[in-house]
A and B are shown apart, each in its own frame.
Chain A
Amino acid sequence: MTYEVGTELPALSVRLKRSDLVRYAGASLDFNPIHWNEKTAEDVGLPDVIAHGMLTMAVASRIVAEWIGDPGAIVEYGCRFGRPVVVPNDDEGALVEVTAKVTKAFDDGTVKVNINAAFDGKSVLTGAFARVRVS
């Protein structure tokens, strides 16, 4: 396996449906109704229910975890929440497409992986990156 700068990680597509949001709410204890109740979401000016930013961030972490094998090698993970992932009440849900690339190698045996998570053709996490121990 190569960790050289420029290496692209195997892409990941994840479909988020309402049931996934409810499940994440339960697992994370984040029961904010904008993530499951369209009336509340619309009342605060959203087009529909949106996924938890932390769910999108967690889903995007899988691209690195599945690539590196030992997720314990992820020593840092950060992002900004740029745009919401809108999740309609249907069987299709929202498709989040995750890509990632090694962009930098550090002297301490870690590399920086830049991560892009796109929904509806637009990036939803801004500046998402992981620093991963590779040696």
Chain B
Amino acid sequence: MPLDPAFIGRSYPPSQPYDVSREKIREFAEAIGATSPAYLDAEAAKALGHRDVIAPPTFAIVVSMKTNETVMFDPELQLDYSRVVHGDQNFTHHRPITAGDQLVCVAHVDAITSRMGNDMVTVRTEITTVDGEPVTTAKSMLVVRGEDA
């Protein structure tokens, strides 16, 4: 069943704050084989002008995961998660995610389109500090494969 285009423009309530820790950044950086000192060493990060260690550019996916799941598992949207494939991903960093940040995510459904029996859903998550400072805009396009596709 095609997704309801009435969901375009829908926004979801803000997430609980996510506390960014040095340890989680290190764990993520090591899992991707990254060796940049700015991820791993607070003094090196400070020498580059950062307040503390910063996160790799795709770390925002961890911060926004719960919020994206809220959209994907929204019972009203009726999205069949077993048919979902990640189509594309974009991160715009207004500033780097930094250890010590407390981040809040707000998800918006920007687009729903259908092509060749597949539905495409674009979810934009605005990540800000608890004080409202913009940090990252994460856009995910999910493909929901059709029954016959």
Contacts and interface: CB of A to CB of B under 8 A. Distances in A.
B28 A75 contact: no
Given A58-B56, A72-B96, A78 B91 contact: yes
A72 B54 contact: yes
Interface string B86-104: 1111111101100000000
B65 A29 contact: yes
A132 to B, nearest CB: 10
Given A66-B35, A71-B39, A28 B28 contact: yes
Interface size class of A (residues with CB under 8 A): 20 to 34
Nearest to A59: B32
A79 interface: yes
B77 interface: no
Contact of B57 (A20, A69, A77, A81): A77
Contacts of B75: none
Interface residues of B, number: 35
A71 B31 contact: no
B4 interface: no
Interface string A51-69: 0011101110110011001
Contacts of A70: 38, 48-49
Given A24-B31, A27-B28, A130-B57, A76 B90 contact: yes
Interface in A21-73: 23-24, 26-30, 44, 53-55, 57-59, 61-62, 65-66, 69-72
Interface of A: 14, 20, 23-24, 26-30, 44, 53-55, 57-59, 61-62, 65-66, 69-72, 74-81, 130
Interface of B: 27-28, 30-36, 38-39, 48-50, 54, 56-58, 61-62, 65, 82, 85-93, 95-96, 139, 141
Given A71-B36, A78-B90, 6 more contacts: A20-B33, A57-B89, A70-B38, A71-B39, A72-B50, A76-B92
**8 nearest CB pairs, A to B:** A78-B90, A27-B31, A80-B88, A72-B96, A58-B32, A58-B58, A77-B57, A70-B48
